[in-house]
A = this chain, B = another copy of it.
Amino acid sequence: MNSGPRGQVWAHVGQPFDRRAYDVVVIGAGMLGAGCAAALREVVPGRSLLLLDEGGLPNEEGATLLGAGVWDAAGLEGHATELAERSRAELQRWLGDALTPRTLLDFGAERTEAAEASAEVLQAFDDMADWVDPEQLPHVTRREVLTYRPGELTLRLGQGAVAAGADLMLNVRAELTPGGVRLHRLSVTNRHEIVVHETHDITVDQVIVAAGAAGPELIESGLGLHTPHGRAYVQRPRLRQPSGPTSPLLRAGNLLLRPLNGEYALYLPPRSGDPHGYRPTSGRLTGVQVGLRRELLCDLLPRMDALPVLATEALGVGRSLADIEGAWLGLPGGDPQHAPTAEQVTPGVWLLLGGSRTRGGADTLGLGLVRELAEQLA
């Protein structure tokens, strides 16, 4: 641990900024960016470090606040197992008691060794008797997973990085330049318009782009480098069924239901990335306007037979896009099922992408991945 002075924090443009250079800049203070900053302060405490974000810590519109926050290493193989274990160690260190074990019920149509009969297991959870059709999903595996709030984790990681000497600048738009970063500090006018208040060019040895879905575009527009990555606008509908501290998570395939704020939240990766130029559009189901996007509806419909709870009024479909929480996610290689990645795109520039997996995704591997990246940069 670095025992030097705390880092400096610039939250608004009233605080003057006169730095001309950093050894390392991390663009994006979401879970991966803040986690990377925290890891770098430990691994290379001698290097000056600036963590920045266009919004807050974490960004209010980023993927972090939409994350499920479920650590679940089941089914992982090879290096991913190692990353998951490193992630767990980091989660325990940063979250302590805020990392909560819960039971996950993993429903499947096929029998595995550890599987129990769905009908029997469901009886143990009174409220859930009607959630699953035991004829269509006859087998279930129980396991313990760890749950957390990605926003809370990110706040702790960012604060920890600052306590260990990282500088932090919020409300700043970053632009990549050859050999550095251009900082556009933002302020809000009386008319609630976001404007650039001042611009600074700084030279940087190592830039880590952890800006989620905006990352590939930053690299392309700033450095003229094409990347094969994609993005998708992902919604997290609510399932208005009561949940408490002992409520289990449910999984069926890549669909995940997670207790959240006394209800449940539904996570389902998209079938594909969204095309360039797409703007999120609310859907229409046989003529009725709803807030869920059409593609999510189409992906949920075939699951309603096996999971009748999805076909009830409990599923919050909303009336307009604003009714449903959603965010843009960066997809490595444009593939919704790709694991999170850290790659060097050009000397001195690394790109972190979390992806949209609900299993073996950034929730489970992310902090191990950024720890590994920090060690590679050392």
Residues of A whose CB lies within 8 Å of any CB of B are: 220-221, 224-226, 228, 230, 271-281, 283-287, 293-295, 298, 301-302, 334
Known contacts A272-B273, A275-B294, A294-B275; is A286 also within 8 Å of B224 by CB? yes
Docked Cα-Cα span, A281 to B277, in Å, equals: 6
Docked Cα-Cα span, A221 to B285, in Å, equals: 9
| Chain B residue at minimum C-beta to C-beta distance from A217 | B284
Q: With A226-B285, A277-B280 given, can you name 6 additional A-B contacts, CB distance below 8 Å?
A: A220-B287, A272-B272, A272-B273, A276-B283, A277-B293, A298-B334
Q: How far is the CB of A303 from chain B (nearest CB, A)?
A: 12
| Chain B residue at minimum C-beta to C-beta distance from A228 | B298
Known contacts A228-B302, A334-B298; is A276 also within 8 Å of B281 by CB? yes
B residues in contact with A278, CB < 8 Å: 274-275, 277-278, 281
Name the contact of A271 in the complex, choosing from B272, B279, B286, B301 (C-beta under 8 A): B272
Docked Cα-Cα span, A376 to B224, in Å, equals: 56
A interface majority secondary structure: loop
Show 30 A/B contacts (Cβ-Cβ < 8 Å), sorted by A.
A220-B284, A220-B286, A220-B287, A221-B287, A224-B287, A225-B286, A226-B285, A226-B286, A228-B301, A228-B302, A230-B298, A271-B334, A272-B272, A272-B273, A274-B275, A275-B275, A275-B278, A275-B281, A275-B293, A275-B294, A275-B295, A276-B293, A276-B294, A276-B295, A277-B278, A277-B280, A277-B281, A277-B294, A278-B278, A298-B334
B residues in contact with A334, CB < 8 Å: 271, 298
List of 4 A-B pairs having minimum Cβ-Cβ separation, nearest first? A277-B281, A272-B272, A276-B294, A224-B286
| Chain B residue at minimum C-beta to C-beta distance from A223 | B286
Docked Cα-Cα span, A375 to B276, in Å, equals: 43
Docked Cα-Cα span, A83 to B319, in Å, equals: 45
Docked Cα-Cα span, A74 to B149, in Å, equals: 54
B residues in contact with A221, CB < 8 Å: 287
Docked Cα-Cα span, A295 to B273, in Å, equals: 10
B residues in contact with A279, CB < 8 Å: 277
B residues in contact with A272, CB < 8 Å: 271-273
Docked Cα-Cα span, A295 to B278, in Å, equals: 12
| Chain B residue at minimum C-beta to C-beta distance from A273 | B272
| Chain B residue at minimum C-beta to C-beta distance from A321 | B277
B residues in contact with A284, CB < 8 Å: 220, 276
B residues in contact with A298, CB < 8 Å: 228, 230, 334
Docked Cα-Cα span, A293 to B285, in Å, equals: 28
Q: How far is the CB of A327 from chain B (nearest CB, A)?
A: 16
Q: How far is the CB of A328 from chain B (nearest CB, A)?
A: 13
Q: How far is the CB of A85 from chain B (nearest CB, A)?
A: 34
Docked Cα-Cα span, A281 to B278, in Å, equals: 8
B residues in contact with A285, CB < 8 Å: 226
